[in-house]
Amino acid sequence: MSKLFTYEHDEMRRNIRRFVQEDLDPHAEEWDAQGKAPLREIFRKAGELGLLGINKPAEYGGLDLDFSFVVVAAEELGRSHAGGIPFAIGAHLSAIPALAAHGSDELKQEFLAPAISGEAVACIGVSEPQAGSDVSAIKTAAQRQGGDWVINGSKMWITSSTQGNWISLLANTSTENGPYHNKSLIVVPLDAPGVSIGAPLHKLGMHCSDTAPVFFDNVRVPVRHMIGEEGAGFRYQMEQFQHERLWGCLRTLAGLDEVLRLTAEYTSERKTFGKAILDNQVVYHRLADFHAQVEALRALAYQTVEAMIADQDVTTLASMAKYLAGKLALELPSACAQYFGGQGYMWENRVTRLMRDLRIVAVGGGANEVMLEVIAKQKGLVKKRRSQN
Ligand SMILES: Cc1cc2nc3c(=O)[nH]c(=O)nc-3n(C[C@H](O)[C@H](O)[C@H](O)COP(=O)(O)OP(=O)(O)OC[C@H]3O[C@@H](n4cnc5c(N)ncnc54)[C@H](O)[C@@H]3O)c2cc1C
């Protein structure tokens, strides 16, 4: 047990586990088959449990706790068989840090408070058809006309957008100042005239999380919808990414633990050539090696959380944790599925499902290669250019 946790964390862990077992897991197959879950209903329950504002101010309905309690939520939700739900909650929680840290009180009352209570589903609006890894290259633009921003452009791969209430949109608000100082974050209600949502994308995994493109055609929002300072959007979004990356890592750890447990169970029962598959040294060494890597990753994730609680810059640590989570998510479930033989090629097998679901962490919120770029820059291995997602 990490020194991060107290009996209060245990109490929260039990409540979330009950929520997962009673309100999420029984519907996992049905929601996956539908390609989406009733997010508004789920978010209202999550909001009642306080899960959507754990480290947010009480003034806006949050619990005012530190990030160690967010760890508990990511770990427990990450155990859910409805993997798209912790994924969608992670996106929601990663869309609100900039608003909470830099938004005006009026904006927070209007958009943060309902996101914390679960009345509103929030989306992250960064990636575009032509710009994912290189955030500085986005094209969506907001032009000031009188008291409004007028927004044109499109966003790609937007989690929960078919059911979302608002999006934290990164847009170019100037044609000057270069690509790192010409962007702002703007809160855009998804029912604003001119916003349209494209057809849901057919994904490899995380099926009960809906993902779709979002289009903006002369969408008007009041200037006061801008979060914090004009031109600071790129910086705010980079800060926000640290939360997304940590959540992704912690959620993934729960899935990796489960894959290892299921593989040990299966291979200890299944016999070939007169002995359990697990009794082959090559097999148990591989699983032992994965256990060591998973525990090392957990220790790194907890170290990152401690640094975040101490208000330190966690860019390097969070990028390392996200990178290693992505690497393990690609390797571990695939290697373990092999030990299931033909069963490891079956769609319904929990391990093959985790193999599909977990690998998103190697791409979403910054691909593995982009994490390596960030780490290399932070370590002075290459020239620093603040250009990547
Ligand atoms: C299911 C899902 C949900 C998502 N949800 C959201 C969301 O809610 N909001 C949002 O804004 N975005 C979302 N995304 C987008 C996600 O963040 C991007 O897909 C990701 O950042 C990669 O961008 P890209 O797909 O444009 O890949 P590209 O930028 O085209 O990169 C393709 C690949 O090239 C490689 N690569 C890129 N740059 C380098 C480099 N410098 N060096 C070496 N290799 C490199 C990497 O392997 C990368 O995977 C989601 C994506 C998916 C699949």
The secondary structure of 324-375 as a DSSP string is: HHHHHHHHHHHHHHHTTGGGGG-TT-HHHHHHHHHGGGGTTTS-HHHHHHHH
Q: Is 133 in the pocket of ligand 1 (CB under 6 A)?
A: yes
What does each C-alpha distance from 239 to 5, 150, 186 come to in angstroms? 25, 25, 15
Domain covering 7-121: architecture: Orthogonal Bundle (1.10)
Q: Domain limits of the chain?
A: 7-121, 123-229, 235-378
Task: Write out pLDDT tens, residues 270-310.
Answer: 999 999 999 999 999 999 999 999 999 999 999 999 999 99
Q: What is the pLDDT of residue 146?
A: 96
Q: What is the pLDDT of residue 385?
A: 58
CATH topology match: 7-121 vs 235-378? no
Catalytic site includes residue 110: no
Give me 277's structure tokens: 């598959």
Q: Is 365 in the pocket of ligand 1 (CB under 6 A)?
A: yes
Q: What is the pLDDT of residue 107?
A: 98
CATH 1.20.140.10 fits 235-378, yes or no: yes
221 in Cβ contact with 149 (< 8 Å)? yes
For the beta carbon of residue 245, count every other beta carbon within 10 angstroms. 30
Q: Is 374 in the pocket of ligand 1 (CB under 6 A)?
A: no
Task: Write out pLDDT tens, residues 233-253.
Answer: 999 999 999 999 999 999 999
**Which among 230, 244, 258, 306 is annotated as catalytic?**
244
113 in Cβ contact with 104 (< 8 Å)? no
CATH number at 123-229: 2.40.110.10
- Which atom of ligand 1 lies nearest, measured to the CA of 367? 49
Q: Is 203 in the pocket of ligand 1 (CB under 6 A)?
A: yes
- Which atom of ligand 1 lies nearest, measured to the CA of 161? 8
What's the CA-to-centroid distance between 282 and ligand 1, angstroms?
35
Q: Is 370 in the pocket of ligand 1 (CB under 6 A)?
A: yes
What's the CA-to-centroid distance between 369 and ligand 1, angstroms?
10
Helix-strand-coil split of the chain, %, nearest 5 = 55, 15, 30
Ordered alpha helix ranges (H), 228-275: 233-269
What's the CA-to-centroid distance between 316 and ligand 1, angstroms?
19
Nearest CA to ligand 1 atom 44: 369
- Which atom of ligand 1 lies nearest, measured to the CA of 366? 21
Q: Is 138 in the pocket of ligand 1 (CB under 6 A)?
A: no
pLDDT less than 50: residues of the chain: none
Q: Is 240 in the pocket of ligand 1 (CB under 6 A)?
A: no
Q: What is the pLDDT of residue 40?
A: 96
Beta strands in 99-258 (DSSP E): 122-125, 141-145, 148-159, 166-172, 183-189, 195-197, 211-222
Q: Which DSSP letter does residue 131 get?
A: B
Q: What is the pLDDT of residue 2?
A: 79
Q: What is the pLDDT of residue 383?
A: 77
What's the CA-to-centroid distance between 366 and ligand 1, angstroms?
6
184 in Cβ contact with 144 (< 8 Å)? no
